[in-house]
Structure 1
């Protein structure tokens, strides 16, 4: 295997990028934020249909809380109420500075090409201004200073087509409460990582959900059968891209935190997940399924390497 070269480039790191914007010059790298969320430690097939390369029972709302705690920051989180109350809350908040907003339903954000309605995809943005017609945002999916009409923004912010999260959630009042080194931030989430890799979670999962090796094998079967019901599209446009990048960052962060054996396993996982992109685009389902079956035993290897 060649020397590890950390990935730098585009990718769907919406909450990590949004946090980095809010935390400013004292922010750790987005790699540290993402790995400190404990999200990269596993794979899940939710309800037997929707697959992600993140930990069983994990979601970004859980990850945001864990990441902030790990890097020594706090924030004030609010949610709920009527659309009018939520908008008033946002107006008041942005008068004092930018606001972390989400989860949002990405399909309602029509400044993004081809978005015409809900697609069940979560997203996070930074709100900059609110007036009577639109919300001005930094959208970390590649759209700085995007203008979103109020009706579209509120529909997205309601988040009723997502599998987690409360409507009209936002975070303000970010404050650093401790100086935490990057290595210590990563070390602090190793117990959670080991639990996720052992499929220990407090979250109630839908019937038919699978984690880690079982998820990898089942998804391999689904892909081999034709990757129907949007599975291929979800993988090639999102899951593979974010999964491979997170695992590459996990390898970098674990090495930095003193876990070289675990870092080697995470790099292998990154390579295997990244290798799915070309065959799935080409509809070479047999090759993609083989890579997933090779991925399956690495989750237990990673757990063992973390001690």
Structure 2
């Protein structure tokens, strides 16, 4: 596999990596992304959009699991829905450590030229400094050292439109290494997490009547073949779901390389299929896109079976 280096919607992995770097720890974002276990499986949302991740989990929970697997203790704070923004607490904590904030609603991040078009999308950043009116952020979407007015921070950080996270004003600070697990132990812990993710997905799909896993991918392929795609679904696919799916699959392939040849191969194959889906969608070759999604579903089923059998 030729390694890919480039942009990707890795906001929480990039932000967590930046936070860990403040104590001299170098954890590659792609490696951290895999450790969360969040980017496994698939599900159809209520708006009929497909997400290639675990509907039974959240980025927040995944971030905490990754910290644990890698041997870090990181303070996490979150307020109840309806609480006021903890501005004084934030100021005190920023005097101690940079802070990872999220989820934020991207529709209120006014330094981003596209903020008007991405409302309701979740995002994670690293906070560095604060004054009376603004907060300074490293935004991994391509905006280092930007300043955000505190009234916009309040709206974004309240995350009222973000459904995958419980509570408001969540943040992490003061990472500390408390354990140095071996490569073998990290692999074993990760594998157990991956297995639990698939079990949780199946249970969640049954309990919540969500279409999940391979069935979700097949359902989306059939929906595309029927010609009923609307503009918002296409935008979701070409700007988010497909390119992110490809990048995540490549990072999983790298993780398994040298430890499990079959799993590494299946994830590389998934990455190639995601790329083919992206190309077909941009050319509006809907039958090709549907056919390729069906192939992707088959590979996803093989991967899930291989992981759960270990």
The corresponding residue for 2:248 is 246
Whether the aligned pair in 2 keeps the contact of 1:108 and 1:117 (CA below 8 Å) is no
- Structure 2: 5+ residue runs without aligned partners? none
The corresponding residue for 1:40 is 39
Give the match's secondary structure for 1:78. Answer: strand
The corresponding residue for 1:69 is 68
User: Superposed, which structure 2 residues align to 1:1-307 within 5 Å?
Assistant: 4-24=1-21, 25-47=24-46, 49-80=48-79, 84-116=84-116, 119-165=119-165, 166-182=167-183, 184-198=185-199, 200=201, 207-224=208-225, 225-228=227-230, 230-256=232-258, 258-306=259-307, 307=310
- CA drift of 1:84 comes to 5.0
Change in Cα spacing, 1:124 to 1:202, as seen in structure 2 (3 Å) is: farther
More helix by proportion, 1 or 2?
A: 2
- CA drift of 1:168 comes to 0.5
- CA drift of 1:280 comes to 1.6
Aligned residues: 303
Whether the aligned pair in 1 keeps the contact of 2:100 and 2:172 (CA below 8 Å) is yes
Distance in structure 2 (CA, Å) of the matches to 1:220 and 1:100: 37
- Structure 1: 5+ residue runs without aligned partners? none
TM-score (norm 2): 0.90
Give the match's secondary structure for 1:146. Answer: strand
Distance in structure 1 (CA, Å) of the matches to 2:119 and 2:127: 22
Change in Cα spacing, 1:176 to 1:182, as seen in structure 2 (3 Å) is: same
Q: Please report the RMSD computed on the Cα atoms of aligned residues, expressed in angstroms.
A: 2.1
Change in Cα spacing, 1:167 to 1:203, as seen in structure 2 (3 Å) is: farther
Give the match's secondary structure for 1:120. Answer: coil
TM-score (norm 1): 0.91
Give the match's secondary structure for 1:145. Answer: strand
Whether the aligned pair in 1 keeps the contact of 2:104 and 2:122 (CA below 8 Å) is yes
- CA drift of 1:199 comes to 5.3
For 1:209-239, what per-residue CA distance to the aligned partner results, in whole angstroms no more than 9, with x for missing partners? 2111101011112223242161111111111
Change in Cα spacing, 1:115 to 1:200, as seen in structure 2 (3 Å) is: closer
Distance in structure 2 (CA, Å) of the matches to 1:199 and 1:293: 23
Whether the aligned pair in 2 keeps the contact of 1:197 and 1:300 (CA below 8 Å) is no
For 1:126-158, what per-residue CA distance to the aligned partner results, in whole angstroms no more than 9, with x for missing partners? 001111211110000010011111111110000
